[in-house]
A and B are shown apart, each in its own frame.
Chain A
């Protein structure tokens, strides 16, 4: 059974600092997704990573995928308050097209 682990679970960081969220998964897949969720809201798609070595950037967020290490990272550069949210990674199970989500990382940016 596919397992997806994220760390850290909680992250409190100061504005202007850099940090990385890690997403490890247990079985082979080359479809990895990052979502953002604001409190009480639904999931907003951030990145879709489709192959080994894929890197995508949007504003202060950059995501990468290493399928050999079964690891994806979400890097935050020069954090701003608007980035406060919970971030989820999700991995696609081939064969049943089921998304398995990580536990989420609750990010709080402190002024």
Chain B
């Protein structure tokens, strides 16, 4: 079974630009979560999508948004980029079946804002 894939793997953007990151979950998984990882703040939850609906949201400004498509693929968008948005963005998928709720992480997209 193929794992979680994320594209692109690396990205360099300028302040004020916007960016879209993509995540393809493990086949059959309907839940996709996004996390931001920075040296200062650690791993922080951004949001979770399930069956094309945002089910949970973390404490990030509205510049961070996402969506999920009918095939469970998810995109995350960050508008008006700031230097502080430089981070590793991780996506995780889960089958949301049973009680284990184990999340499987993709390789991440490393975003650098200059």
Contacts and interface: CB of A to CB of B under 8 A. Distances in A.
What band does the interface of chain B fall in when counting residues whose beta carbon is under 8 Å from A? 20 to 34
Nearest to B96: A97
Interface string A26-59: 0000010101000001111100101000000000
B25 interface: no
A98 interface: yes
Residue of B43, B44, B56, B101 ringed by the most chain A CB atoms within 10 A: B43
A96 B35 CA distance: 15
Interface of B: 31, 33, 35, 42-45, 48, 55-56, 58, 90, 92, 96, 99-108
Majority SS of interface residues in chain A? strand
What band does the interface of chain A fall in when counting residues whose beta carbon is under 8 Å from B? 20 to 34
A100 interface: yes
